């Protein structure tokens, strides 16, 4: 009788698994169709400026270096890394929170089951995002996009704390608090508006637009971070005794597992959102006047006139290059200004070539090491204690592959510049001098207090030298 009883439950378990599978598949198809439709809409109806369509494309490595040197972009990128941790933690632990904290038991959320509660909360979340987006847009028009963007981030820190008040059976509170959490998410589009200003600032400094570099890294690096941010909490769950579902049926969990789910689901997103808020406060283009100065400065550059950098206050004048110098300038842009200055001092590219070769070798070694870890631990993907190793090694292997490509390009250009008579010393000096005008990293040598300190120290040194000479005589 026991065997017949157990066999009668197996089809129900499999039916539940199949139902969940088709539900997720349907959601995936709907979102895929929405993504394709919105992408086609952009391609058909959003036109680029004529100047953008005709300008020379920025090569890969200069594009990467320009992106990470941009003082307006770096704090945003750090903030988005923390934002991705928030999103990844919420996404990974949301089903566990509903299943084992709110609906901990077969009839706890009656008359609804866990799948229904999860579906309703996700639907309510998307509804809140859709409803709140126009409101965030109107607020940004009224109060400025940076101020509203920071308000959206601050609210995002607060709303997740509401889930602390969700206990066993509080599925209605869960649904309400999820709707409240969706309100700040409706302002997520403001990040793209901020990036547009960053792209304009880069164009102001360099004379060409580089949307691809900024948009790729704005999306790509946070996605890299989201993989371990999702995998680590799940791996920790397995380490502290999480019992997996059996044939789609959730199993009872110990108190340690339930408390970890509750605290991590609430406090990890709060903490990462707070650090994201602090990072974004360092963003320098805060006012509408600065954004307007960007537009005016780009227009002046289009008319071959100098303009004022709205961040540093320095005069920025684009470097005039002949057709023959353009290709050489792109080659030089594969290297940092510190590296170029070292070449100018030593009058030799041999060390630069050796340095780029060392970078390439290091990237190759890292790729081989992470590939070996991935292959060696791939069979442990279902092991609670070791599953994190192949997951993270795949991520770092992908990063190493990217570094190999970048290092190979830099080495190729270093070899070309190291040929006898190939390095354009005069052009390198002009490029370094022109970039001083728009020093984006807040170069200490341009600060008045540092220059005054140097002058005082110089006077003191001169007096000491004079005193030594008098004593010598």
pTM for the whole structure: 0.75
SS3 315: strand
pLDDT at 245: 73
302 has pLDDT over 60: yes
pLDDT at 91: 86
pLDDT at 452: 42
Tokens representing 142?
């009224």
pLDDT digits (tens, 9 = 90+) for 425-467: 998 888 888 765 443 332 333 333 334 444 545 555 666 666 6
Q: List, in sequence order, every residue forming a beta bridge with 307; answer none if it has no partner.
A: 316
pLDDT level of residue 5 (50, 70, 90 thresholds) = very low
Question: CA–CA separation, 266 vs 102, rounded Å?
Answer: 13
Question: CA–CA separation, 159 vs 151, rounded Å?
Answer: 12
pLDDT digits (tens, 9 = 90+) for 125-142: 989 999 999 999 999 988
Task: Over range 151-163, report the average pLDDT.
Answer: 88
15 has pLDDT over 90: no
The CB density around residue 443, as the number of other CB atoms within 10 Å, is 13
Residues 6+ apart with CB under 8 A from 320: none
pLDDT at 134: 92
- Indicate if the alpha-carbon torsion angle 267, 270, 276, 281 is positive or negative: negative
pLDDT at 459: 55
Site of tokens 């780009």: 298
pLDDT digits (tens, 9 = 90+) for 252-261: 788 888 889 9
């Amino acid at each position: 009788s026991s065997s017949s009883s157990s066999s009668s439950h197996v089809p129900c378990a499999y039916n539940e698994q199949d139902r969940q599978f088709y539900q997720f598949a349907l959601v995936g198809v709907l979102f895929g169709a929405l993504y394709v439709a919105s992408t086609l809409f952009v391609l058909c109806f959003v036109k680029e400026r004529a100047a953008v369509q005709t300008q020379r494309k920025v090569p890969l490595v200069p594009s990467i270096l320009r992106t990470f040197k941009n003082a307006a972009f770096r704090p945003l990128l750090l903030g988005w890394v923390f934002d991705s941790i928030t999103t990844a933690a919420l996404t990974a632990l949301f089903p566990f929170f509903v299943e084992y904290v709110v609906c901990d038991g077969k009839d706890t959320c009656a008359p609804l089951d866990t799948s229904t509660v999860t579906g309703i909360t996700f639907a309510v979340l998307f509804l809140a995002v859709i409803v709140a987006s126009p409101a965030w847009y109107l607020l940004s028009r009224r109060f400025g996009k940076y101020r509203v963007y920071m308000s959206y981030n601050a609210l995002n820190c607060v709303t997740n704390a509401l889930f602390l008040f969700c206990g066993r059976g509080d599925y209605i509170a869960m649904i309400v608090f999820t709707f409240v959490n969706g309100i700040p998410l409706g302002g997520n589009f403001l990040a793209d508006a901020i990036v547009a200003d960053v792209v304009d600032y880069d164009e102001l400094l360099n004379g060409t637009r580089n949307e691809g570099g900024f948009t790729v890294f704005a999306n790509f690096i946070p996605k890299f971070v989201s993989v371990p941010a999702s995998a680590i909490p799940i791996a920790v769950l397995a380490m502290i005794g999480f019992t997996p579902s059996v044939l789609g049926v959730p199993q009872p969990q110990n108190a340690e597992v339930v408390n970890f789910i509750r605290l991590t689901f609430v406090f990890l997103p709060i903490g990462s959102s707070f650090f994201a808020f602090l990072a974004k406060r360092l963003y320098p283009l805060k006012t509408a006047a600065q954004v307007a100065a960007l537009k005016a400065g780009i227009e002046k550059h289009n008319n071959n006139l100098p303009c004022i950098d709205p961040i540093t206050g320095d005069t920025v004048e684009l470097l005039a290059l002949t057709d023959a110098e353009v290709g050489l300038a792109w080659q030089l842009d594969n290297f940092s200004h510190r590296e170029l200055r070292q070449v100018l001092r030593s009058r030799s590219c041999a060390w630069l070539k050796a340095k780029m070769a060392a970078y390439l070798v290091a990237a190759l070694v890292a790729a081989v090491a992470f590939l070996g870890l991935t292959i060696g631990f791939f069979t442990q993907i279902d092991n609670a204690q070791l599953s994190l190793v192949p997951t993270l090694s795949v991520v770092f292997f992908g990063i190493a592959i990217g570094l190999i490509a970048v290092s190979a390009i830099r080495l190729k250009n270093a070899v070309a510049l190291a040929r006898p008579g190939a390095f354009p010393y005069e052009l390198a000096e002009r490029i370094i001098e022109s970039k001083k005008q728009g020093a984006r990293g807040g170069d200490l040598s341009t600060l008045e207090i540092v220059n005054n300190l140097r002058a005082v120290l110089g006077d003191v040194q001169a007096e000491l030298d004079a005193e030594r000479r008098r004593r010598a005589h």
